[in-house]
Structure 1
Amino acid sequence: MTHPAPPSAHVTHADCASEPIHIPGSIQPHGYLISLDENGRIVQLSANVAALAGTRAEDLLGEALARLIGDAAAQATLAALAEPGTDGTPRLVGTIADPRVKHSPQSIASEPGGAATHPPHPPLAIVAHRYNGLAIVELEPALGTADVFSSLYPLVRTFLRGLQESTSVDDLARLAASEVKRITGFGRTLVYSFDDDGNGHVLAEAIEPGYASYLDQHFPATDIPAQARALYVHNRIRLIADADYASVPLVPPLHPATGRPTDLTWASLRSVSPVHVQYMKNMGTGSSMSMSIVVRGRLWGLISCHHASARVPAFEVRAACEHIAQMLSLQIEAREDRTQAEYRLELRRRLSRLLAAMANSEHFVSALRDEPHDLLGLANAAGAAIVFDGRIVTVGTTPDTAQIEQILTWLDGQSGEIIAADHFADAAGVPFHHDAAGMLAVSISRLFRNYVIWFRPEVVRALNWAGNPREKLATLASSLSPRASFDVWTEVVRERSLPWHPAEQEIALEFRAALLDIVLRRAEELAQLALELGRANEELEGFSYTVSHDLRAPLRHIAGFADLLAQNESANLSTRGKHFVERIADSARFGGKLVDDLLAFSQMGRAALHKQRVDMNRLVGELVADQQRDHPQRAIEWRVAPLVSLTVDPVLMHVVLRNLIDNAVKFTRNRENAHDPAIIEIGCRAGDSDTPLADHDIVFVRDNGVGFDARYVGKLFGVFQRLHRFEDFEGTGIGLASVKRIVERHGGQAWAEGKLDAGTTVSFAIPRAPDVPPAQNGALNGESAAAAVARLASVSPDTQPFRNVRKPE
């Protein structure tokens, strides 16, 4: 009896993948299957069991198993089924003479290659198991009724000796192919492995003349659907004795205990899919046998035997082959574990050297750049890019910066700590680049664009397939169809790199963890230094404040007494004495001004910020008006562009702009005539989008005055640093230092550009912040106008009168 064909219509491979091959409802005819209830009575059996009993199969339902195989064998079978651990694990009970043989069994001779010279009814091996609560007994042809296991060692002895001499997986595969062919007598034996996509690759073969060779060829994953792979992991040997067999149905079709088709996952006699039978015929195969190679619980590969005609290896031979496959699985796992352990050890050596280099370096990016051999060797890559703090540092062969930016944009949208791709252009949807066919990246920040990326170039490969994997058998009248041709079909694979080894991905994660640890440790060290520096600054500011405060009175007394001496005792002083008194008064007043500036500078770091939304147009307008009133004789051309509003402390921003405008007025005194006037520009712009100042607003004050030597720009914002002689331009050299401190307290930056006799531009950037409501009822964020004036006076020691930041309401 054969399976009925489903409705004809060609569909996709998904149909084949959903075929219920574990419940075919029938078995192959070279053996017999019986299902028992808990009392050892037959509740379901294959129809051919009737031949053993000489009666109809239906008449055996409800009978004891002993009627078929005798009391002793039946008791042994029931005892085996009662033992723990039989669920899903077939167990050999023993061998018996075929019930149709009335005389005692004679010894059975074996031909070379494992085929037996059978009498009309050869002995039967009894194999029993439980699955999903059902007890199943199978009877299969055997060599003899003696202990099966006593014949295993002679069969596998040569293979066991060869295991120790094999040094690689390929050697093991060749040994297994040769030994299995010798034991079974099949015309062709293949050993092939599966890749991560399920495609098979023939590693070794042993063939007789006249059989096609498939060595080093590939088989597509569609040849073995997913549910067939799952069965290979559980039931690790499968025999199809005759591609032209007529399947034997089960009686009754549905199991009485479940009302459903019997699950034959663990049954070696299970009937196979008609699709696979047709697949065999397309290969010119009359019979086949496959043994699973399972490594770490995964289907690593298969030992596959093919014969041009029908062939039924005895149970002992099949058991020996299954034993070989299990030993091969263990040896492959051991070889792979050793190879991977050695590779992981080498990767960890590289990682240790990298970590040592980073530990001895001020910055890990420099350390990685200076150790290209270990950095690239860590992932067996040709190039790498370290992306940190807005910088891209490349090592080895990499794409250009623009292409790396494309990669970063894609990485920003990915999740996970590690991203690996050997076909990166396809995965990311970006143009293919030869030097970045493969990409492995680790993210070292959840918030910022910080990555280490390794690149691999394209490796063009030619794969020989056993037939075009995309073909279907158009003549099969079923919706499920195998491919018809197994002629060599060559595929050229492009735009891919070598795949990333699991060990490389693991070491990349370890590298990431170590890198995060180093970055965190450095951050903690910097935080500790910042804390200590903050304490030192507080102590210094306190000291400066105390000294400045205590020196103010003596200096004022000196200046005051010098003035009194000049006024009251002028007639008694010589010309030289008058000059000395004048020098004393000037020096005391300068010392007082210096002390006042130092006191104000110390207060700027201590005073709390009172931020509000400040209209810079109004503030600059008031300061420019002050300058015009204070210097009416000066020919100054003011160029004030529209300005933005900033969220800042209005008092301290008043100090910043007044200092900058005062400096611009002071250093343009060399332009006195109307034909060559002083020009002072005040404007603003948004920070460039591709810079760290992208979210800042930049304000600048530019003049065409004396300028400065750009070589000394680093000194410009230092305390008491002067780039011009005091005799030429007055001042204590603390104004720009105050500007820098105030701007930095707002989270911004200040800088200057200039050229001698060509002018100076001082700029400062303030980060944008959410709008703060404007002051209400004359208050500045809770600070009264009078208090703001007082605070302005405390941080701006100057002789000129102070004006309110805001006009009175």
Structure 2
Amino acid sequence: MKSLTGQADTVAAHTPRASIASIAYNTLPVPALDACDQEPIRVPGAIQPHGYLVALDADLRVVQTSANVGELTGEAAEALLGRHVETLIGAAGARVVAEVLETVAVEDKPLYIGRVAWTRGNGTRLAADADGDMTFGEGAQAAQRPRGERMLDMLLHSHAGVLLLEIEPTAHVGNVFSPIYALVRTFVQRLEDADTLQQLLDLAAREVRRITGYGRVLVYRFDEDGHGQVLAEDRDPEYASYLDHFFPAADIPKQARELYLLNHIRLIADAAYVPAPLIPAHHPETGAPTDLSYAALRSVSPVHLEYMRNMGTASSMSISIVVRGKLWGLISCHHASARQVGFEARAACEHLCEVLSLQVAAKEESAEAGYRLGLRKMLVELISAMSDRDDFTTSIVSSPVALLRFMSAHGAAVVYAGRIVTVGVTPDTAVIQRIVDYIATSSSRDVFHTDTMSELLSWEEGDDVPDWAASASGVLAVQISKIHRHFVLWFRPEVVRTIAWAGDPRKVVVAADTDAAADTAANACTPASAGNLRVSPRESFETWRQTVRHRSRRWHDSEINIALDFRTSILGIVLRRAEEMAQLAAELGRVNKELEAFSYSVSHDLRAPLRHIVGYGDLLREQEIDRLSERGARFLQNIVDSAKLAGTLVDDLLSFSQMGRAALRPAPVSVRAMVDAVIRELEAENPGRAITWQIGPLPTVTGDAAFLILAVRNLLSNAVKYSKTRAQATIAIEARETAREHIVSIRDNGVGFNMRYVGKLFGVFQRLHRADEFEGTGIGLANVRRIIERHDGRTWAEGEPDKGATFFFSMPKVPAVSAPSARPLA
């Protein structure tokens, strides 16, 4: 950046598959990117030179030191190795270190152990013995201090078995902790006035800048893709504004984010510093480079220092905002010139950020709880409306407005039992089926969600993004069944956004300066595995705008969780209805058995009296016919005919009841053989009738021969009966097959029927013609349906008045009960 105020807009060229998640990486070769992620920033082998670091053994002897420690001792750093720490910080300082180790558990996080007043050649004394009040800020004056005396702050921590003492010169005197509350008091007092998260972040930016004196302070949070969006800012007028700008996720490699969770504050006092290497390079006791993850003085990546210089920032400080154990965001401080921030100010800022983190968590949890409660209320209303309806699909879409409002969606679809029912703005059914197929084959989750559905579904190379992406960029799908493809889907439309980046986020790769890399132990973003390449940070931070398309608003975690509850509720309704249906089926089964038993009993008991009536009627007609008048003889004939019809009806009822009770004996059965046998019977029963039989190829099916031949006889006899008004009757028997079944049709040219009444054809005692025109009991077709359904087949009919009728029945190719190997039965 040439200046701190120059800013210009650069518009990003848009490609259909580009996304905000990938933009920061799309020009990076994988080896170079991996090299950056693997850079040994925890063991840089050097520190920043505004302080000093020594590693101590159990006897408090120096085993490793930073090369710049000679500034304090006036000797070469190597001369300090093996000597007691009091050589460096004097007897008073050494006593403090020893007492802390005896009384406190020294752990990873650096512990402030005190301040010593140091004078070269005269040793040290505790700073608490110094006169004068502690002051804060640039140009702070220390009263009544001996000439040449310097104040040294000491921090102690132990990590990976190594005890590390950090020493930072400071211009302050007195108690280091006394000003911390005074520094953050304003922030704490104003917390109650911050009703919103935005007000809270604005307050934090102002207070951190007031405490540290930095020229610009940014507060930004990380989104789901790891990009940082600046939400609050406080700055001097000469500094460029980055408010509402995005910083790409690639600016902070994964391992750097991990360090932000371990060590919540990081200071770079001067971006132009020359690192002070550790001597020796490897710790003598561990034989490995010393891990400086928790060290305040840890040297940082040369790439990051280059990044700072390109930004026009000579000094920076970052403070982690950690919410619920995750890195929520950062407070980032920038200054145009080198700036040393003392421990007091850093401790105050760290404390402020801890309070801020708690407040952010509280506000987010409050907002989340309110949103969840609203979703829960809508779920209860939706389930209540669904519970009142029997049909599953209809019940879900019965309240379309509530269904869409429930997921803040513009469209929804229910895919169930081969049907697709939609409400609102959705893609067409072919696209919905494609989306369902993708989800069913690629995800095992009960709830699937994405805000980039069009990018997940492939399209022909070179084609534009499909039109449906505008209405269904976002999809949330609830899978109702693990076996069948039953889904409830919600759709969100595309939201076109213009992202303002703080500079072109696309990193570039340049040839590595191998000589420079060899000179600097910290410059590890250029390993040989990266093909002698290194990542170069962007040189300009002028606003770079990117248009992001084909992405919807993201699905909220609460929406995903409530979708799981919705699925559970749906399954509860389905289970309850299944239990009700099972109970009803059991009750119907019991009633059917009672009815079958009753009909069997009645039919059996009525057969004898009816036969007696017919028998005595025939005897009376033979023996007493001469004594009867013509009228009496006609009455007698009517009695005999009615009794015979009643007997036939009783036999049919008995046969109908037996069909539900008798066990099937499946075997291969030739349909042609059955047809031929029935035709011979019908021709014998109807002598003189002119009937043309047209018989096509017929299959062999698996079933109970006795039942199936009864069904064929009923259908063929019906064709003969209802075509008797034709001078020349034509009856055609044909068959066709599908992947799953054989379908047999019997067509006649008889009187036909009106399709309006087709639903009555296969009912018991249902007749579409007058009894005096065509004899029969009205139970034959009911027998046909019952026989075929017991074989897992189907029956249906088509007809037209005076033009004939066609009756169909199907038989499955793979029966529910397998048949034994046998020759086809004729």
Match of 2:186, SS?
helix
Q: CA deviation at 1:137?
A: 1.9
Match of 1:722, SS?
coil
| 1:46-77 residue CA offsets vs partner (Å, 9 max, x unmatched) | 22233333333233333333333344543443
Between the aligned partners of 2:30 and 2:485, the Cα distance in structure 1 is: 50
Q: Does 1:550 align with 2:605?
A: yes
Which residue of the partner structure matches residue 367 of structure 2?
A: 339
CA contact 2:792–2:815 (8 Å) conserved in 1: no
Q: 1:687-766, aligned counterparts within 5 Å?
A: 695-766=740-811
CA contact 2:492–2:552 (8 Å) conserved in 1: yes
Which of 37, 40, 52 is the equivalent residue of 1:20?
A: 40
Q: Does 1:534 align with 2:589?
A: yes
Query: In terms of mean alpha carbon deviation, does 38-47 or 185-194 score higher?
Result: 38-47
Residues 343 and 16 of structure 1: is their aligned pair in 2 closer, same or farther, counting only changes over 3 Å?
same
CA RMSD of aligned residues (A): 2.4
Query: In terms of mean alpha carbon deviation, does 758-767 or 489-498 score higher?
Result: 758-767
Between the aligned partners of 1:323 and 1:601, the Cα distance in structure 2 is: 88
CA contact 1:466–1:489 (8 Å) conserved in 2: yes
Residues 596 and 81 of structure 1: is their aligned pair in 2 closer, same or farther, counting only changes over 3 Å?
farther
Between the aligned partners of 2:101 and 2:227, the Cα distance in structure 1 is: 38
Q: CA deviation at 1:775?
A: 5.5
Q: CA deviation at 1:619?
A: 3.1
Which residue of the partner structure matches residue 788 of structure 1?
A: none
Q: CA deviation at 1:685?
A: 3.7
Residues 766 and 250 of structure 1: is their aligned pair in 2 closer, same or farther, counting only changes over 3 Å?
same
Which residue of the partner structure matches residue 394 of structure 1?
A: 422
CA contact 2:66–2:278 (8 Å) conserved in 1: yes
Match of 2:536, SS?
coil
Q: Does 1:425 align with 2:454?
A: yes
Residues 774 and 235 of structure 1: is their aligned pair in 2 closer, same or farther, counting only changes over 3 Å?
closer
The letter for the 2-side match of 1:608 is A
Between the aligned partners of 1:770 and 1:58, the Cα distance in structure 2 is: 92
Between the aligned partners of 1:541 and 1:432, the Cα distance in structure 2 is: 60
Which residue of the partner structure matches residue 450 of structure 1?
A: 486
Which residue of the partner structure matches residue 168 of structure 1?
A: 196
Which residue of the partner structure matches residue 379 of structure 1?
A: 407
Q: 1:449-528, aligned counterparts within 5 Å?
A: 449-472=485-508, 474=510, 477=513, 479-528=534-583
CA contact 1:422–1:437 (8 Å) conserved in 2: yes
CA contact 2:705–2:825 (8 Å) conserved in 1: no
Between the aligned partners of 1:476 and 1:176, the Cα distance in structure 2 is: 40
Q: CA deviation at 1:349?
A: 0.5
| 1:206-262 residue CA offsets vs partner (Å, 9 max, x unmatched) | 111321211111111111110101111111110111111111111211112221111
Which residue of the partner structure matches residue 440 of structure 1?
A: 476
Between the aligned partners of 1:411 and 1:621, the Cα distance in structure 2 is: 53
Residues 679 and 239 of structure 1: is their aligned pair in 2 closer, same or farther, counting only changes over 3 Å?
same
Which residue of the partner structure matches residue 584 of structure 1?
A: 639
Q: CA deviation at 1:555?
A: 1.1
CA contact 1:696–1:767 (8 Å) conserved in 2: yes
Residues 556 and 378 of structure 1: is their aligned pair in 2 closer, same or farther, counting only changes over 3 Å?
same
Which residue of the partner structure matches residue 312 of structure 1?
A: 340
| 1:597-652 residue CA offsets vs partner (Å, 9 max, x unmatched) | 11110111111122234333443344344434544533333333333443333322
Q: Does 1:56 align with 2:76?
A: yes
Which residue of the partner structure matches residue 351 of structure 1?
A: 379
Between the aligned partners of 1:139 and 1:265, the Cα distance in structure 2 is: 16
Between the aligned partners of 2:106 and 2:472, the Cα distance in structure 1 is: 53
Residues 18 and 777 of structure 1: is their aligned pair in 2 closer, same or farther, counting only changes over 3 Å?
closer
Greater RCO, CA 8 A, separation 6+: 2
Between the aligned partners of 1:518 and 1:361, the Cα distance in structure 2 is: 10
Residues 594 and 296 of structure 1: is their aligned pair in 2 closer, same or farther, counting only changes over 3 Å?
same
| 1:679-704 residue CA offsets vs partner (Å, 9 max, x unmatched) | 434323427xxxxxxx4443322222
Between the aligned partners of 1:189 and 1:234, the Cα distance in structure 2 is: 22
Which residue of the partner structure matches residue 781 of structure 1?
A: none
Between the aligned partners of 1:537 and 1:574, the Cα distance in structure 2 is: 48
Which residue of the partner structure matches residue 692 of structure 1?
A: none
CA contact 2:450–2:476 (8 Å) conserved in 1: yes
Count of residue pairs brought into register by the alignment: 762
Q: CA deviation at 1:384?
A: 0.3
The letter for the 1-side match of 2:478 is V
CA contact 1:746–1:766 (8 Å) conserved in 2: yes
Residues 445 and 223 of structure 1: is their aligned pair in 2 closer, same or farther, counting only changes over 3 Å?
same
Between the aligned partners of 2:261 and 2:406, the Cα distance in structure 1 is: 34
| 1:510-567 residue CA offsets vs partner (Å, 9 max, x unmatched) | 1011101111111111011101111111111111111111111111111111111111
Match of 1:356, SS?
helix
Which residue of the partner structure matches residue 678 of structure 1?
A: 730
Query: In terms of mean alpha carbon deviation, does 251-260 or 488-497 score higher?
Result: 251-260
Which residue of the partner structure matches residue 31 of structure 1?
A: 51
Aligned-residue sequence identity (percent) comes to 50
Between the aligned partners of 1:736 and 1:411, the Cα distance in structure 2 is: 45
Which residue of the partner structure matches residue 279 of structure 2?
A: 251
Which residue of the partner structure matches residue 662 of structure 1?
A: 717
Query: In terms of mean alpha carbon deviation, does 427-436 or 612-621 score higher?
Result: 612-621
Which residue of the partner structure matches residue 188 of structure 1?
A: 216
Q: 1:122-271, aligned counterparts within 5 Å?
A: 122-142=150-170, 144-271=172-299
Which residue of the partner structure matches residue 792 of structure 1?
A: none
Residues 81 and 377 of structure 1: is their aligned pair in 2 closer, same or farther, counting only changes over 3 Å?
farther
Which of 54, 59, 77 is the equivalent residue of 2:97?
A: 77
CA contact 1:552–1:595 (8 Å) conserved in 2: yes
Residues 467 and 645 of structure 1: is their aligned pair in 2 closer, same or farther, counting only changes over 3 Å?
farther
Match of 2:638, SS?
helix
Residues 26 and 757 of structure 1: is their aligned pair in 2 closer, same or farther, counting only changes over 3 Å?
same
The letter for the 2-side match of 1:450 is H
Residues 494 and 321 of structure 1: is their aligned pair in 2 closer, same or farther, counting only changes over 3 Å?
same
Q: CA deviation at 1:432?
A: 4.9
Between the aligned partners of 1:639 and 1:38, the Cα distance in structure 2 is: 109
The letter for the 2-side match of 1:719 is V
Between the aligned partners of 1:699 and 1:277, the Cα distance in structure 2 is: 84
Please give the TM-score of this superposition, normalised by the length of structure 1: 0.90
Match of 1:634, SS?
coil
Residues 713 and 43 of structure 1: is their aligned pair in 2 closer, same or farther, counting only changes over 3 Å?
same
Which residue of the partner structure matches residue 132 of structure 2?
A: 107
Please give the TM-score of this superposition, normalised by the length of structure 2: 0.88
Structure 2 regions of 5+ residues with no counterpart?
A: 1-28, 460-465, 514-525, 527-533
Residues 773 and 315 of structure 1: is their aligned pair in 2 closer, same or farther, counting only changes over 3 Å?
closer
Between the aligned partners of 1:426 and 1:628, the Cα distance in structure 2 is: 70
Q: Does 1:806 align with 2:788?
A: no
| 1:391-448 residue CA offsets vs partner (Å, 9 max, x unmatched) | 1111111112222122122122132111111010111225351111111101000111
Query: In terms of mean alpha carbon deviation, does 279-288 or 385-394 score higher?
Result: 385-394
Between the aligned partners of 1:542 and 1:98, the Cα distance in structure 2 is: 111
Residues 536 and 696 of structure 1: is their aligned pair in 2 closer, same or farther, counting only changes over 3 Å?
same
Match of 1:62, SS?
coil
The letter for the 1-side match of 2:493 is P
CA contact 1:181–1:206 (8 Å) conserved in 2: yes
Residues 147 and 638 of structure 1: is their aligned pair in 2 closer, same or farther, counting only changes over 3 Å?
farther
The letter for the 2-side match of 1:582 is Q
Q: CA deviation at 1:725?
A: 1.2
Match of 2:802, SS?
coil
